[in-house]
Amino acid sequence: MDKRSISPASPLSEAEDALPSRLPPTPPLQEYDCEQVLRCSSTPAPSASSRHPRPYPLPPAPRDHHVLPQDLQTPDSHVPRDPRLIRLTGVHPFNVEAPLTDLFDEGFLTTKDLHYVRNHGAVPRVEDRDVPDWPLTVEGLVARPFTLSLRELARAGGGFEQVTYPVTLVCAGNRRKEQNVVRKTKGFSWGAAGLSTSLWTGVPLRQLLARAGPLARRGARYVCFEGADRLPNGAYATSVKLAWAMDPERGMLVAHKMNGEPLPPDHGRPLRVVIPGQIGGRSVKWLRRIVVTAEPSDSWYHIYDNRVLPTTITPEASADMPDAWKDERYAIYDLNVNSAVCYPAHDERVPLSGGSYALRGYAYAGGGRRVTRVEVTLDRGKTWALADVSYPEDLYRLAAEDEELYGGRIDVAGREACFCWCFWSLEVPLARLRRARDVMVRAMDESLALQPREMYWSVLGMMNNPWYRVAIHQEDDGSLRFEHPTQPALMPGGWMERVKKAGGDPTDGFWGERPADEDPAGAKEAAARRSEPAKEIGMVDDKVARQITADELRKHSGETEPWFVVNGQVYDGTRFLQGHPGGAASIINSAGQDVSDEFLAIHSENAKAMMPSYHVGTLSGPLASEDSSAGPDLSDPSGPFFHPKAWRRALLARKLPVSRDSTVFTFALPGGAQQPLGLPVGQHVMIRLIDPATREAIIRAYTPISSDGDPVDAEGRKDGTLRILVKAYPRGRMTRALASLPLGHPVEFRGPLGRFEYLGSARCKVGERTRAVRRLVMVCGGSGVTPVYAVLRSVAREWRKPADAAPSAREPPAGQEAGMQAPPSCLLLDGNRSEEDILLRAELDEMEQAGGERCRVVHTLSRPSERWEGLRGRMDRAFLEREVGAPPPERDALVLVCGPEGMERTVKEAFLAMGWLEEDLLFF
């Protein structure tokens, strides 16, 4: 059979229910009159001026767009966009798909308006004047590395052939929402519209590589691509095999036009690579470098994104399996075969008065393979009917050999590979639909790869391609209502959600809806195959049905009766103000706000299990966010940087390693040298980054080592920075992300938070209680030194004050007992493994000297070297009894503790055994 045709479909067995085997050509197959198309399109005219009808489609007319209001306060404030696009990851970064029916209705070619977008961060801003000089470097294992500008690359007669052809790009996460409903993956929820087709114009990649001359004798095997976007884990980069890049059948392209226009910002302006037949993640945007290498890319995004790990690996276990992530056997390149139903649309109602209904949808395959059949079943796979399949891509093969389109030769006729989606359709009698419970579709490609019946769930939820099922419901008005599996993003709807909420299992072999005539033995067999659903901790009280408006929530945004929102549910934190480990301020600062990211990122399963007792209702409408994370801090720069109810941005300015695994990160404040931090002594802040792979928030607490009391220069100015000491952990998501941040990248901060505050003059505030202390005992380990360092530094500054600057013993401050105004004495016990692990050692030594007899700093090492002359061993009970002892009779001492969980537990047990009270122990 000729690979550009398809056999007539086979009818179903019953004559009255027969499904016709062939339909008239669908609109994408019609001939396109060049003049007619151009009259209704703003697309530039093709270079050929012939007046005969062109055999191939031209793109629909794009719309005029402006920057949307929600983008104005983001780094993408320069990018116009179509408001119809569905945002999958909140406002920013921009990850979107079109409504499925809108995408299908545009036809074979997708305008820039509805083309899906996958951005990991901000869209690089490239001014018009800089576009011609945009540089592209080809380097690595090549004989002749070179750099050329976009002007040189795209110039007619400049030495590179310009070609134009259609390519369907597909995100590897297409249809991921279905996997997320079954069990949450580490990826956000794409629907079935994570694909689009456009005409791309540019230079064949193989020509650029041929000019550079890859060095095969040195093992050149891969081609790496690097973009200009700067992300939490470095530049976006990935790679493909060199042999593929040199194969004309693979059609890899360095493109500078999309549908005849310069690339839009969201699609790589001004230069990108287009890799046909492979997942969209390989088509790097904002292309800067092409590097020929012996090994695959070592980019974080190549290793930890776009992989299908074995289904036995859980999201939790995957964090401890770096070798699995780096295993190239699990990397995704070629697309798998897939299909979906576009009509009937989700929730479409069809009256039974007509005679038949035309089912329609799309299909695609990968690696240049053609989709050779699409099959539809109305009886859950017992029988199948062949649908008609149309291939609009083939119409470009009819162009003249030297014909050009948008300045590039139409490079399709000379190759067999298929790089585009195709359309299927099948006319079905309504009487047959009425008796069916669902419609399901599957596709096969020319390698005989067939869509599977069952889902292959994996950690990242990529390459989801089981049969696409649309459920059929008979409504009371006599119509049929159709229900797709899911809706994208957080949009509710779909039979999968309905089945799961009803206690069913969408993967039980019967899509959670067991046939009425199924025998008991079959039921048991299906139950045996049923996968164990992931444990989900309920955070709502099912008996609470109250609807709470945004106005009502706003009335509870103060210190009394603070309400907050998590996942659309409203909680009253009043009863937990005194018991919250982070202090009442943590709840008060969340009052009146949606704190879903913060809560879910830092709270344990036990904390989540407590939430139903605080549940008061469901938020009934949108909440106007006060979160400033979407854009730059526009507040008065003379005001404090930290704000307890808003995320504030500062730019990473420096990274200074201070030990083998610890780094001081310095951030430039938006208000510069004159902006105070607004951080009480002993309190901490939250740092937020967005995981570029999962789009989930990474939030951790840190105590800055800079303060408002830091020294000033000769002109009385501070340096306008914030410094954070971070100890890196091999499995730490935040520490890995921070370590890979490029300089100049924004990071979000929120605070201050914490139950403890050193007020000065020997006064401390713990929760809502203020107490006077003569002695502070500080016990820390590793990076836990930072909060006690902040307290010790503040006390040391009081020691250094001239005597006449200190409060008089005869005139104590209001509310302070006589004799308690002098700074307290301090004992700091610091436990580490080796001498190299001691952090802030020079600073601690300086404070010890400033305090004299009032301050003692003790270091003990569990794994010291032979040259270590200090204390050896762990901070166990014997150590603490020797160094600290029993509490003073006056009960005027306070113990501050921060370190690993095991150390804190040992310290607590030891101090309680020595007669200290729990109220004398403060754990940061």
Q: Which residues are catalytic?
A: 171, 305-306
Distance from C-alpha of 199 to C-alpha of 801, rounded to nearest angstrom? 73
Provide the edge-to-edge strand list for the sheet that holds 438-445: 349-351, 479-483, 468-474, 438-445, 371-377, 385-386
Phi, psi of 172 (to 5 degrees): -60, -20
Query: Encoding tokens for residue 246?
Result: 């040199």
CA 648 – CA 211 distance, rounded (Å) = 48
First-residue to last-residue Cα distance in the chain: 73
> Taking a C-beta distance cutoff of 8 angstroms, is the pair 418, 365 a contact?
yes
Residues 816, 821, 825: CA angle, nearest 5 degrees:
130
Secondary structure element (H or E) that encloses residue 551, with its range: helix 550-554
Closest CA to 228 of 150, 292, 170, 304: 150
The set of residues, in sequence order, having a beta carbon less than 8 Å from that of 810 and lying 6+ positions away, is none
One-letter amino acid of 255: A
Rounded to 5 degrees, φ, ψ at 462 are -95, 160
DSSP H or E segment with residue 665 = strand 662-668
- Contact residues for 673 (Cβ-Cβ < 8 A; gap 6+): 717, 718, 719, 720
CA–CA separation, 837 and 662 (whole Å): 9
Cα 909 to the center of its chain, rounded Å: 41
Cβ-Cβ contacts under 8 Å for 363 (sequence gap 6 or more)? 337, 338, 339, 340, 371, 374, 389, 421, 422, 423, 424, 443
DSSP letter at 533 equals P
3-state secondary structure 281-315: HHCCCCEEEEEEECCCCCCHHHHHCCECCCCCCCH
